[in-house]
Amino acid sequence: MAIKLSKPDHQQLVGSIRRYFDENLEPVGDLQAGLLLDFVLREVGPAIYNKAVLDAQARILNHVTDLPGEVYEREGDYWTSKGKK
C-alpha cells in the first residue's frame, strides 16, 4: 500500500525538508526536497506505517481481550439494588 499525501501536506513537508537543509546542511530547492520526500515515503514510510498498524492492533486486542472486565454488568440485580435507592 503506497503512502499518498494530499497536495497541501506534500507541500508543507517539502517546505519542512527545505528548512531543515537550510539550517543544518546546504540549501536545496523544491525539486530536491520533493525527491527526498518521495524516497522516504517509499523506503521508510511502509516500515513506520506497519509498526503503527501493529501497535494499534495490539492495543485493540488488549481492550477486546479484557472486554468482559471492561463492560461487565451484574445479572439478576433488580431486587438487590431496589432496596438501595
Q: What is the pTM of this model?
A: 0.68
Tell me the pLDDT tens digit for each residue of 40-80.
999 999 999 999 999 999 999 988 888 888 788 888 888 87
**Rounded to 5°, angle at Cα 56 from 52 and 61:** 150
- Residue 21 falls inside a structural domain: yes
Tell me the pLDDT tens digit for each residue of 46-55.
999 999 999 9
CA 12 and chain centroid, separation: 18
Q: How many domains does the structure of the chain reveal?
A: 1
- Residue 84 falls inside a structural domain: no
CB proximity list for 34: less than 8 A, separation 6 or greater:
10, 14
Q: Which domain holds residue 58?
A: 7-67
